[in-house]
Structure 1
Amino acid sequence: MPRVPGPSPRVQPRDAGPPPLLSVVFWVVLAATALTYAVHAGTSPGPSIARITVFGANVALVGALWLVLPWRRTRGWRGPAAVVFLVATFTLGPAGSDEIHQLLPLISIANLAFVYGMRTAAVIVGCLCCGLFLSVVKVYGRGVLDAVAQTVPLVVFAAFVLGMTSAVLEARRRREEAQRLLARIRELTVAQERARMGAEMHDSVGHHLTVIKMGLENAERFRHRRPDAAWDEVRQAKDLTRQALADARRWARALRPLALDGHVGSAALQQLAASFDGTGLKVSFEVSGEELPLEPDVELVLYRVLQEGLANAVRHSGARRVRGGLAFHDDRVVLTVTDDGGGRDREAHGGFGLGSLAERARAVGGALTTGDRPGGGFEVRAELPVHPGAAP
């Protein structure tokens, strides 16, 4: 029995950096801040050389930190860079930016939430607001009302930014969780498919090997008293060995991945159909209509439908010819697999393969139908949307 794969190891997502639009806003505001200060510095009386140097260094520090800021939880020196960036954006005001820079501290608050989480960001912002309040009162010697007037807008805007950031973080968390669940579902689907194939391989090849063993044991018993019967058993064992080998090769082909020798789409299906040559079937495959790019889930269902239709023709129908057809339409693709055998095997057990494929077809918004053909033989027909979720 194939081992069901365990949970995939959680890989830390790559830090993709800030959203492009946010980067544009940052650089525009930083450039406007520097340009405004330069204009004021050219007036008379302008700031001293020392103040100009401090402001220029502050602007350069903010720009340099932006290039290395992390946007996910991280370890190492890049994490503290978010706190330094927050302080650097706030000090642009005392350095003389004339309030043009005020959007930059809000961006830095959002960055803090991305890197440290909402609680830590809220604590840091709270400490910063307290520091601003005290600096207005103690350093600049203004009254409490002035300090409140300076602090309250920061608190309001910071709360707004943290709320928006919280929504973005929750959306990111849910997306990553959905991606992990999707990967887990795919792993379980592969495990289920391999378990089914393993059971069917045991039934087919195992049955042949059991009969071969019994035949050889009979030949051993008959070799002296009934040598002709013994040789009959040996010949039958040889025939069964060839059948078992053909079954083993067929299952080895069935376990091959979707992309056969680098082929996908109709090329992969044609390659799969050609791989059944040598099983006693004459297999043909045709493609009609203008081929459209298919989603991976749709392509996988088509591949498995053709695979199951060909395997059933070999196992149950007694067919000599099998014809596969792939037809592309505007918004859907239709795959048919027909044979000239005896139709549905009424005594065949299981049927799990086609039933599972019908569920897969419904999962991508399509349908799978099977049944005897009016003129004889059996047909499997899958009609799927080009894009999953669309009605065929």
Structure 2
Amino acid sequence: MHATTPLPLLKRVPPGAWTVVAWCAGLVFTFIARTRLPGESEPGQYPSHLLHRWDGVTFVVLATATALNGGRLLARRPLAACVCLLLAAVLGTVPLSVGEIPMAQFLAAGVALYFVATSCPRRTARIALALALGTLVTFVAVRLFCWGVAGTSSELAVALIAVILWLLGRSAHQVRAHAERLSAQAAAQAVTTERLRIAREMHDTVAHSIGIIALQAGAATRVATTQPEAAREAMRAVETTGRETLAGLRRMLVALRAADAGHQDDPGTAAGPVSGLDDVDGLAATTTAAGVRVEVRRRGRPRPLPPDIDLSAFRIIQESVTNVVRHSGTHACRVTVDYGEDDIRLEVTDDGRGRGTSTDTGFGLAGMRERVALLHGEFHAAPRPEGGFRVAARLPVPVGVR
């Protein structure tokens, strides 16, 4: 069915946790690079004497605490988190006695910069990029002013990586926003298409009713003088049919008044025969023959319904059963039709997977929800706690038909 699938495992990890992992990885790399590994005659980088003193260890501890705080703030206060992670990069660089902020110390800030660019507005993302580049420039400037030596070329490489991470984040942000716009447009188009289909079906219902009225009125005219009682009976049928048709038209026109008049119907789509709840048994037989057993239960006293309600009830059951066949992976479902005093309740349940796929574009639930909303009813569709899926709808019956 059309339900949300679980996120991939890596997507479940919050961005703040990724920054903490990046910081820890940077620390590990820093110490490994200053250790003579197998196959090396000497370490890749000689450790600073500060790393072996209490003040150097203090800087590392303070930097780690600041980085952990930045990871904690990333989801709620992204700019404050960036400041903390950039400060951690500076504090972690001080005991190394180098002329630039190494990539290992800047890695956590770069990961945070990517997530800010991905999830935050453009202004916030630009401020985060400016903070990152400003920190790198300031560090090199202070080194040049105080000691006259700085790793400018190495810092340019770190700055380039920061810009690349930011651009990747903005690209992911734009792709996600575009996908959301496409999804919203597709959902709106599905609703419009469903409204047009309902309008076509209502047209068929009204045409059928007007044809009956014309036949009954013609019969009444022919026997008005010879068979007054038959003429009165025909005119009563005309009155009943006319009232039901007008009531259905009024409900439909009021509900469709907000539809977009600019969308035109597809001239190549032909309207099918008008169906109703009397066809549920035939639908069940056809579906059962196809391999999914449909059990139909009726409660209350069946009675004639207005054509628009009768048709919508059948379409809801039909779409629900179709979804069971396509998505549930089960071999049986149950259809319940409950005739109440002032409404009719529909329920379709199954024992299948209870979920569908995020790439499903059938919009079946959106169409059913739109039908029920047009008739001022109630609609619910969700996985069942005990397993499977449940679709339930309540359609109110007009007072004059009860």
TM-score, L = length of structure 1: 0.50
Between the two structures, name the one with larger relative contact order (CA 8 Å, sep ≥ 6).
2
TM-score, L = length of structure 2: 0.49
